[in-house]
Amino acid sequence: MTNSKALIKSIILSSFLFFVASTSSIAEGENYSPLDSPSFFEGLNTFTSVFSQIKQLYVDEIDDETLFNNAIKGLIEGLDPHSSFLEPKDQSDLSESTMGKFGGLGIVIGTQGNYIEVISPIDDTPAYRAGLQAGDIILQIGDQNVSQINLEEGVKLMRGAPGTKVKLTIGRPDIAPFVVEITREIITITSAKGVILDEGIGYLRIAQFQRPTSDLVKNIISDLVAQNESELDSLIIDLRNNPGGLLDSAIDVSNLFIDETGIVVYTEGRTPSSNISFPTKPGDIVNGAPIVILMNKGSASASEIVAGALQDHKRAIIMGEESFGKGSVQSMLSLEDGYGLKLTTARYYTPSGRSIQSKGITPDIELENISLDNDEDEDSIDFSSQEKDLKNALSAEDPTELSEEEILKVQDEIAEKRDQEYIELLKGDYFIHEAINVLKALKVYR
């Protein structure tokens, strides 16, 4: 027993010292060492005792690697909902998601007590079409009780081959738990899109902040100006149910609309490398036109950075609901053999010094989540309807009976009809309706 404990202690201590050495660049000279902490060895003795008892008495034989990985996961997951120990495949999945294409149901999730919470459904995905909403609690995945697994295990259960199905038991305030069956798909996110709504009012929907989002937004605004045949009078930026994404993308998008010297966001943590300010780059692509940003409780992380920056710079009016409040920074650290560590290392602050973490962005004008149409809830609007579902849609024709010029004309008519239907759906959205009223009032005032 004594030799076994000594061996385990040696392995753990060697691994820990390797970890300290591998992350020294993050700490930038901080001299913490577990060897200087008496409580470290007390905890280590308890750990080795538990490890030995499991090896000897547990009903099934468990290999050392599994036990060590489980111990590391428990160490990290006890910190906060966003820190995690990543196996090689987990790192690959994380990389795919930032590129805008990955497999799954199309929801961004976090932890809520012992359960999994839907932070937001992603536009035009199986989860979105199934009616999942921000704030829903996932109680079961298939027959698996979510309270008995961690977040990463829940993600793995929901992932799967396209075309396969998974049942989720959902908890939602004021109604009994219910089950939805969702068919998995390859999720390809269009991070931004836009239309002209009314009288020079542009509408920009940003669903997530990915690497190409800033360039896409610039192109969309340019197209809207061309459609409007003049500069935009005003702009609605819809960040509802936007779960965030890449920090660099949020900063770049913010800088498209801020035309003064200052900062977009800054971070503060325990180490010097975590204390960073991100400056503005003056140059407003809508030339000072009034902006309304729409948010709800599903707006998180990068979307809160954009809203906070434009609010503090007096560049936009924020309308809607208080946002999610995910204002922490996760750093990716590489470990041996392809493993990784996603660790919370700092908090985000808006230019005026407001912490986003657990507070969110408070709107300038609060709106209740109601519908203008009594027969249809706002969140049930389906932007993914097919052409055949549209009012007065053209019937199918054999293309061989049409000339090339006639085919192009029909295609243009279809696109125009789809755009018009989309615009009418947007105008029936209460949040957008109120944003248009505010912008029209500002136009009269100016």
Q: What is the pLDDT of residue 313?
A: 97
Confidence of residue 381 (pLDDT cuts 50, 70, 90): very low
pLDDT of 8 over the 60 cut: no
392 compared with 72, residue with greater pLDDT: 72
Task: For tokens 């002209």, name the residue.
Answer: 196
Q: What is the pLDDT of residue 333?
A: 86
The answer as to CATH 3.90.226.10 being correct for domain 192-366 is: yes
d(CA 402, CA 382): 32
Q: What is the pLDDT of residue 266?
A: 97
Confidence of residue 86 (pLDDT cuts 50, 70, 90): confident
Determine the average pLDDT of the residues in 263-271: 95
Among 266, 272, 249, smallest CA distance to 329 is for 266
Confidence of residue 84 (pLDDT cuts 50, 70, 90): confident
How far from 425 is each of 392, 428, 438, CA to CA, in Å? Answer: 16, 5, 19
Catalytic residue among 301, 303, 323, 328: 301
CATH of domain 101-188: 2.30.42.10
Q: What is the pLDDT of residue 415?
A: 54
Determine the average pLDDT of the residues in 232-246: 94
pLDDT of 63 over the 80 cut: yes
Beta carbons of 301 and 246 less than 8 angstroms apart:
no
pLDDT of 76 over the 80 cut: yes
Among 157, 148, 236, smallest CA distance to 198 is for 236
Q: What is the pLDDT of residues 163-217, one digit of tens each?
A: 889 999 999 988 999 999 999 998 777 789 999 998 899 999 999 998 889 999 9
pLDDT of 133 over the 70 cut: yes
Determine the average pLDDT of the residues in 385-414: 47
Q: What is the pLDDT of residue 285?
A: 97
201 compared with 161, residue with greater pLDDT: 201
Q: What is the pLDDT of residue 225?
A: 96
Confidence of residue 24 (pLDDT cuts 50, 70, 90): very low
Q: What is the pLDDT of residue 73?
A: 87
The answer to whether residue 323 is catalytic is no
327 compared with 424, residue with greater pLDDT: 327
Catalytic residue among 312, 342, 379, 429: 312
pLDDT of 405 over the 80 cut: no
The answer to whether residue 101 is catalytic is no
DSSP per residue over 215-262, as a string?
HHHHHHHHHHHHHHTS--SEEEEE-TT---B-HHHHHHHHHTT--SSS
Specify the long-range contacts of residues 85-89, CB closer than 8 Å, at least 24 apart.
Answer: 85/339, 85/340, 85/341, 85/342, 86/339, 86/340, 86/341, 86/342, 87/338, 87/339, 88/337, 88/338, 88/339
- Number of Cα atoms under 13 Å in the Cβ half of residue 437: 9
Query: Angle, to 10 degrees, between the axis of helix 38-57 and the axis of helix 64-77?
Result: 130
Confidence of residue 111 (pLDDT cuts 50, 70, 90): confident
Determine the average pLDDT of the residues in 57-70: 92
The answer to whether residue 312 is catalytic is yes
pLDDT of 99 over the 90 cut: no
Confidence of residue 414 (pLDDT cuts 50, 70, 90): low
Confidence of residue 43 (pLDDT cuts 50, 70, 90): confident
Determine the average pLDDT of the residues in 10-34: 47
Catalytic residue among 326, 328, 379, 429: 326
pLDDT of 221 over the 70 cut: yes
Among 397, 418, 419, 310, smallest CA distance to 361 is for 310
